[in-house]
Homo-oligomer: A and B are copies of this chain.
Amino acid sequence: MAQQLEPIAKMVAQLSRLPGIGQKSAQRLAYHIISMPLEDVRELASAVYQGRKAIQYCQVCGNYATGETCSICENTRRHNGQICVVRDPRDVAAIERMRDFQGTYHVLHGTLSPMDGIGPEDIRIKELLSRLSDGAVKEVIIATNPDIEGEATASYIARLIKPMGLLVTRIAHGVPVGSDLEYADEITLAKAIEGRREM
């Protein structure tokens, strides 16, 4: 007997390509899927494929959208005087969960990383600049990650935009709320002290 039937082996191979799913988990998932009613498996497969197919990028900001533009860009109650620049659509989702920010977004779809050969042409910087040309935008909030690539990208964009006379801000770095100082890394602590405010 072949160690595993070909349809099962194929399913395991595909599942194990997903992040965080190793060979063992893929096998367990495949056996579970095979024990599921066919109709349920059809729904699962269809939610995955049709879901992927339905999602495109907003032509304005680059966020996930089901049409040409995303629901945030289409929402006339959002202030288009503020643009929050993030690396990818899940960062938009994270900021939206906060329910506090009323501006719009710009998704770069990456950050500058010379080591990986990712330069300014490879992320959506040109598209950001063209959005700034109509004079409606007053502030660009750069919310890339506080890591090397994120900081480099933030500085790069700030250098481009400042001469246009716009306010360019960077999200604050510091000790996370509810965390313990003792466990904060040195760079975060340094940033927290550097960014201190009068009480």
Which residues of A come within 8 Å of B, CB atoms? Answer: 1-8, 10-11, 13-15, 17-21, 25, 28-34, 36, 38, 41-55, 64-66, 70-72, 75, 89-90, 93, 96-97
Contacts and interface: CB of A to CB of B under 8 A. Distances in A.
Going nearest first, the 7 A-B pairs with the smallest beta carbon separation are: A45-B49, A11-B51, A7-B54, A14-B47, A7-B51, A45-B45, A41-B52
Nearest to A48: B45
Oligomeric state, in copies:
2
A28 B19 contact: yes
Given A28-B20, A44-B14, A96-B1, A8 B64 contact: yes
A37 to B, nearest CB: 9
Given A33-B48, A51-B11, A96 B19 contact: no
B19 A32 contact: yes
B7 A66 contact: yes
A90 B36 CA distance: 15
Contact of A3 (B2, B17, B97): B97
Contacts of A20: 25, 28-29
A143 B175 CA distance: 56
A52 B28 CA distance: 14
